[in-house]
Amino acid sequence: MPDPSRPIRIVVITGSARRGNYTGMAAGIVADELQKHPEVSVEVIDPVALHLPFPGTDPNSPGTKHLQEAVSSAAGVVLVTPEYHGSFSSVMKLVIENLGFPSVLAGKPVQLVGVAAGEIGAIKSLEQLRSVVAHIGGIVLPLPISIANVQKAFAPDGAVLHPDAEKKLRRASANLTGYIEKHICPAITLERLLREGSERVDTAAR
């Protein structure tokens, strides 16, 4: 049930199926920072739990429906992917394929976060993910977050060991909420005022 006191809904989606993965740990830090905002509610989606089908096999699966409803009702989305073989993960691609066509991600501000074991970080995966998200109509925000040497950034329990990595991940929250407050909230407020105004007129005319 949506919390009316936290009207800004944000969905954080992870892109790894490996148990105890660093991607989920990074997503947890981003979600923790987002939840500090007094008007934000956060849902973290683990695609593994949704049992998403392969493209074209079962568009009406419960997991697909939940994913599409969550993203469709969100004011913004965070996509967190590991870098595998120079690209973003197949799990993240499966998520994107299950967002429908046209995609429910279209028109949504999207903050990208990537983690990688190498020293240069997740640059390649973020570049490719940016291209795909933009192609389906998502509004990819500048300043994607890339965490290098991720195996040294987190303890096995998910605690952040590197202050710079934590600072970067928490900055993802400000990037997204700042955009939403500037560009999305005014439109939502105007729509609500226009709707309530028309409802008052209709009531008075009865």
Inside any domain, residue 2: no
- Per-residue pLDDT at 31 exceeds 50: yes
Is residue 160 pLDDT above 60, yes or no? yes
What gap in Å lies between CA 164 and CA 177, rounded to an integer?
A: 21
Q: According to the model, what pLDDT value does residue 2 have?
A: 60
Residue 113 covered by a domain? yes
**Average pLDDT, stretch 139-158?**
94
CATH number for position 47: 3.40.50.360
Is the separation of the CB atoms in 116 and 145 below 8 Å? no
| Structure confidence at residue 203 (pLDDT) | 47
Model confidence band, residue 12 (pLDDT cutoffs 50, 70, 90): very high
Q: What is the pLDDT of residue 188?
A: 54
Tokens of 72: 């469709």
Tell me how crowded residue 109 is: count the other CB atoms within 10 A of its CB. Answer: 22
| pLDDT tens sequence across 98-126 | 999 999 999 999 999 999 999 999 999 99
User: Across the strands, what pairs with 81?
Assistant: 114
For the chain, what is the domain count?
Answer: 1
Quote the domain boundaries for residue 91. Answer: 8-205
- Return the higher-pLDDT residue of 36 and 200: 36
More confident residue, 198 or 93: 93
Question: Is 91 within the bounds of a domain?
Answer: yes
Predicted confidence at residue 3, as pLDDT, reads 72
- The tokens of 146 are what? 């890339």
Residues 130, 175: Cα–Cα separation, whole Å: 16
User: Would the pLDDT of 205 be above 90?
Assistant: no
Calculate what percentage of the chain has a pLDDT beyond 70: 89
Is 172 inside a domain boundary? yes
Whether residue 102 is preceded by a cis peptide bond, meaning omega within 30 degrees of 0, is: yes
- Is the pLDDT confidence value at 151 over 90? yes
**pLDDT band, residue 201 (cuts 50/70/90):** very low
Tens-place pLDDT, residues 164-199: 999 999 999 999 999 999 888 765 554 455 555 545
pLDDT in tens, 35-89: 999 999 999 999 999 999 999 899 889 999 999 999 999 999 999 999 999 999 9
pLDDT for residue 184: 81
1 domain residue, yes or no = no
Rg (CA), the chain: 18
Q: Among all chains, which residue has been given the structure tokens 């004011």?
A: 75
Phi, psi of 137 (to 5 degrees): 100, 5
Residue 41: beta bridge partners?
A: 9
